[in-house]
Amino acid sequence: MPGAFQNGKEAIMRGYAVVDVETTGFSFKHGHRIVEIGVVELDASGAVENTWETLVNPQRHMDATSTHHITAADVCGAPTFEHIADKLVHSLTGRLLVAHNAPFDSGFIQSELRRCGRATEDSLPAIDTMALAKQYLRLPSVKLAECCKHLGITNAREHAALADAEATTQVFQHFLSNTSAFEDTIQPQLAAAEAFNGFLQPEQPSQPAGQTIQQPNEPLLLSRAQTQQAREAAHNGGWFAGLVDEREPVASSTVENYFSLLDRVLLDRLLTTTEQDQLLTFAKDNNIGSQGLQDLHEEYLSQLLELAWADGVITEEERTIVLAVARALGIPSAAAEEALQPQAVETGGRHHSSSPVYEDTREGAIYGTEDHGTDPGMGPLQGIVLRPGDRVTVTGARAYSTSDWTHYFDAHGVVLAGLSKKTKVLIAADPDSQSGKAQKARAYGIPIVAEDVARDILRFTD
């Protein structure tokens, strides 16, 4: 069993840890999780020693995006809380936790630490700058923004964890320097923090127990800025640029499997972060390098164009789809635009058809053990065909209510129900969602499409 950190001579208080967290909701008791944390480490005088921040993969559906502007795509590559627990415990050990509305932040932190076996049930001593503001500032509102405004503190990124932690630091420093808060409130809490014995060591039998302050293995952190940089780098197909450039020929069966995967992930004409990871995993598993993927993408788009031109006309919808696919696969828009101009197109390729819409009537499955209603090829153009009695699942709906979706599918004899292997498609507000439904759908090979385009790509046979 993990042992608790002991408080010996090394336990002299190092100062303060000002922390802010962003979460999926208001209550950890209802299963909500941390999605971002920012930490400012202060010395005993209140001077800043160090800062760090990271997004956190909550391993559940992302909520409260309208508040903190963090999406499921942002946290796909972020560490889980378990991976940053050592670093956080190191920041907190020998320091008094400080937060604005401390019961909220400390409650989530303790819940997460207990979840991964790093804390006891003992309450973590903390200083609440919101409570101090009520006592010393006497403002009508003691929200962080109002306290900052009153004290002349600038916080350009409200509801970003590190920015809020840094703003809270300045508020706290004001109370340290300009009020009697240290003698009245902070000093007693420092004593309580020094006596705190509630952190648990990870299960590492080879290391001696009983060390108060241990230097953690540095986890891989991911900030909002790094996520934005990665997103910009991934624009126009840059997501596969990091692959080793291999020139080995790709087996025809591998090509077909990759094209089938492209059909699936491009059903909604979007390529999410999770879907990029799926494609990269396939490429690495099959020793396909960056040039190999580029060649495959050009061939895929060529066949998509062939299918679009099969009836001799490119509709505006088909043009939009082709350009969206080209952009996702890293093919220059100029080349795609040129290919969309009227021209003679050879037919007879893998996906040739004279019909603009396919219906998959096979008994077998394309992406798993069940038939998920997708066409044998060129998913972006064909969409998803649903027949009376088919099953569809919706998760995290925002644009339409469950009642709206029920009426919509009832009109076509399609059943809206929970996720199972017989589900034809999962409609998600955020296709990168890490909810249980989304994770299960990926395991079953069920297509996940974005709610805001779902009605554009669904086809009914009734």
Domain boundaries, the chain: 15-195, 224-340, 385-460
Are the beta carbons of 272 and 451 closer than 8 angstroms? no
Confidence label for 48 from pLDDT (cuts 50, 70 and 90): very high
69-115 pLDDT, tens per residue?
998 888 988 999 999 999 999 999 999 999 999 999 999 999 999 99
pLDDT of residue 44: 94
Higher pLDDT, 373 or 148: 148
> For residues 107 and 119, what is the distance between their CA atoms, to the nearest angstrom?
12
pLDDT of residue 61: 84
The mean pLDDT of 302-307, rounded to a whole number, is 89
Q: Looking at domain 15-195, which of 3.30.420.10, 1.20.1430.10, 3.30.499.10, 3.40.50.720 is its CATH number?
A: 3.30.420.10
Give yes or no for residue 372 having a pLDDT over 70.
no
Higher pLDDT, 453 or 162: 162
Higher pLDDT, 249 or 145: 145
Give yes or no for residue 135 having a pLDDT over 60.
yes
Are the beta carbons of 382 and 374 closer than 8 angstroms? yes
Q: What is the pTM of this model?
A: 0.68
Q: Which CATH architecture has domain 385-460?
A: 3-Layer(aba) Sandwich (3.40)
Give yes or no for residue 1 having a pLDDT over 50.
no
Confidence label for 366 from pLDDT (cuts 50, 70 and 90): very low
pLDDT of residue 356: 31
248-271 pLDDT, tens per residue?
678 888 999 999 899 888 888 888
pLDDT of residue 9: 31
